[in-house]
Structure formats: C-alpha cells, structure tokens
Amino acid sequence: MSSPVLIALDWGTTSLRAYLLGDDGVGLDARASSAGVMKLPAGGFDQAFEETCGAWLDAHPRLPVVAAGMVGSAQGWVEAPYVETSAGAEALVAGIVTVKTARGVAVHVVPGVLERGALPNVMRGEETQIFGALASEPSLGASGGALIGLPGTHAKWAFVGNGRIERFYTFMTGETFGALRDHTILGRTMHPSATHDEAAFLRGVDTARDAGHAGLLATIFSTRTLSLTGQLTAEQQPDYLSGLLIGHELRGLNEVLVRERSALAGKKTLRLIGNDALCDRYRAALARFGCHDAPTAHATERGLYRIAAQAGLVAAPVRAA
C-alpha cells in the first residue's frame, strides 16, 4: 500500500479539486469543493483550504502542498508571476511562490505560462496538465513535438517539443457557447435534453468545416433558422451549436497548422486532456477533420506530482515492480 506524501490542489475559477497522492504518484483520496477563486470572499482561501484538506493534515501533519491554477493569479491566494515560453518544468519550479496557511503549512503555488507577441496568450493550470501528460508519456516531449488539446471554457491547444511548452492558442469556445445560449436570441428556442444528439452535433461540425461557409459570425444564426425551417428540433439546437463552435475552433487551428506546412490530419501525435464527455465531443469532431487522438488520464495529479518532485518536495514516484 502506497503512503501519502503530497497534497496536490487544482484550484480554478469555479472549483477546487484536492488530491492526496501516494509515493507512486497515484491518488489515494480526492476531495472536490465549489470554493473556486472567484466564489470566495476576501480572505476566504485559508478557510476553504482547511475545510478541504484539514483532515488529511490532521492525520499527516508534515505533508507538503502544491497548487496550480487561478489560485496563483492576481485574484488568487498569492500571485505567482507567469513564466514565458518556451517553458519547461524547471521554469515552473523556479517560479513557484509560497503562501503560509493559518496552521503554518506552506502552499507551493505553481506559476502559469505567458506567450508574448502581437496577440499574447496565457494559461494557468493547463501547463501542469501538459507536464502531467509528458510524465505519463515521455515520448510526447521528443524533438518531433506533439499537439495537446485541453477542451474547456477557454480551450487551449499547445505545441510541445523537447519537453517544453513552445507555443499555444486559446479558443473561448465553452464561454461563447454559454453566452450564446443564455444571452442571445438563439437560446429562446432551445430546450435542454438529457441525451446527446450526435447527428445534430456532427452537422454543426461539418457546417463549420466546410470552407464554402464564411466563418463563425456568418453561421451561428443557422442555429435559429434551421429550427424555423423545421430542420432542427428545439432539443437538437444546443448540440448543433456546440458542434458548430467546436468545428470552427478546429477549422481555425487547422488553418494555423496548414500555414506551418502541416495539418490536423498530418499530426502524428495528438492528445486530449480534460472532462471525459467533453473530450468525447472533441474526439468525434476531430475525426471529421481526419484526425485521431489517444486519451490522457490523471494529467493534473501527475503534473502536480512531477513539479513537486522536481522542486524537491517529494521523491520521484516509486513504480510497482
């Protein structure tokens, strides 16, 4: 039986996920809380941490703690300034900032990553998942490089090579879906459904993929007009809109790759990290672009453990014989 050696926190905008990790880097226990960074009152971080992890620390007082995500933002518990691309795990370790809890425990907060340029990009939390994927599959970080997708509210697509995050793109796909559904005329005729309509979803993906269409702003209104003309039911509209937005995301990414003399279908190494149901949607959409991936599980926990090990907070994971 593995012994607890680390408390790892994935502390985002809307939620907190805590993991008790053993000396093999595998989770022994996990807790989830709705105490996201933007939901806490002033000074509420310590209480949220205590409520989530206090029992673990009572049983194991000397456990080190590492945290990633928006907890290190300007609105977080303590600001951990971004490190710049090209960024390796050693840069994240060098940028760690600590904050002391009321019980005297040092929480080691991992910085995010910044890509400078005419259109700067940032990530917080995803960098840890990426290094978790590299820990699980070291060949992803080889010189040939890989493309790692992280679907979500602000979807990220990161290019990694030589064990480093080289560059990345952000697509506000999830947030745009929520805004269109909840705050525009498109949502007026939608009805939520307990089941996913694959055909409607793929119709949206294919509409976005078709180069004959003029782009996102010219196609999203079809969510309403297809309903008005009897081609989509109220229950199908959310899945169609989801497919349309994800399809435009992938079309945009593909155009970036084509300019680099590559293409989604030509990328030999591609991985998705994130919520299973959402990754399934992306997997189906990617197939319409002729591209296939393999899933990466437990990337957050593995990434936090890898960073903690590189920082000297824990030993390298013990692997079973």
Give me the CATH number covering residue 210: 3.30.420.310
Q: Is the pLDDT of residue 294 over 90?
A: no
Tell me, yes or no, whether 166 lies in a domain: no
306 and 282 share a domain?
A: no
**Which pLDDT score, from 0 to 100, does residue 86 have?**
96
Q: Is the pLDDT of residue 269 over 60?
A: yes
Whether the bond into 86 is cis, omega within 30 of 0: yes
Query: What average pLDDT score do residues 224-239 get?
Result: 97
Alpha helices in the chain (DSSP H): 45-59, 89-94, 126-136, 173-183, 198-209, 216-219, 222-228, 237-259, 276-288, 299-310
**Which pLDDT score, from 0 to 100, does residue 259 have?**
83
Give this prediction's pTM: 0.93
Torsion angle of C-alpha atoms 82, 83, 86, 89, degrees rounded to 10? -110
**Which pLDDT score, from 0 to 100, does residue 226 have?**
96
275 and 303 share a domain?
A: no
Tell me, yes or no, whether 16 lies in a domain: yes
**pLDDT bucket at 72, cuts 50 / 70 / 90:** very high
Helix axes 237-259, 276-288, angle to 10 degrees: 60
Q: Is the pLDDT of residue 320 over 70?
A: no
Q: How many CB atoms are located within 10 Å of the residue 306 CB?
A: 23
**Average pLDDT of the residues of the chain:** 93
Rounded to whole angstroms, how far apart are CA atoms 281 and 247?
Answer: 10
Query: What average pLDDT score do residues 170-191 get?
Result: 97
Tell me, yes or no, whether 228 lies in a domain: yes
**pLDDT bucket at 268, cuts 50 / 70 / 90:** low
Q: Is the pLDDT of residue 260 over 80?
A: no
Residue 86 contacts by C-beta under 8 Å, 6 or more apart in sequence? 164, 165, 166, 167
Q: Which long-range contacts (CB under 8 A, 24 or more apart) does 180-189 make?
A: 180/220, 180/223, 180/241, 181/238, 181/241, 185/224, 186/220, 186/221, 186/223, 186/224, 186/237, 186/241, 189/224, 189/227, 189/234, 189/237
215 and 280 share a domain?
A: yes
11 and 133 share a domain?
A: yes
188 and 101 share a domain?
A: no
Give the HSE-up count for residue 64: Cα atoms under 13 Å, Cβ half-sphere. 18
Task: Give Cα separations from 210 to 54, 203, 213, 230, 250 (angstroms).
Answer: 53, 11, 6, 22, 12
192 and 234 share a domain?
A: yes
Tell me, yes or no, whether 318 lies in a domain: no
**Which pLDDT score, from 0 to 100, does residue 213 have?**
80
Query: What average pLDDT score do residues 278-285 get?
Result: 96
**pLDDT bucket at 314, cuts 50 / 70 / 90:** very high
Q: Is the pLDDT of residue 138 over 70?
A: yes
76 and 55 share a domain?
A: yes
23 and 37 share a domain?
A: yes
Tell me, yes or no, whether 199 lies in a domain: yes
Q: Which domain holds residue 126?
A: 4-137+298-310
**Which pLDDT score, from 0 to 100, does residue 145 have?**
83
**Which pLDDT score, from 0 to 100, does residue 132 have?**
95
**Which pLDDT score, from 0 to 100, does residue 321 have?**
39
Q: How many domains does the chain have?
A: 2
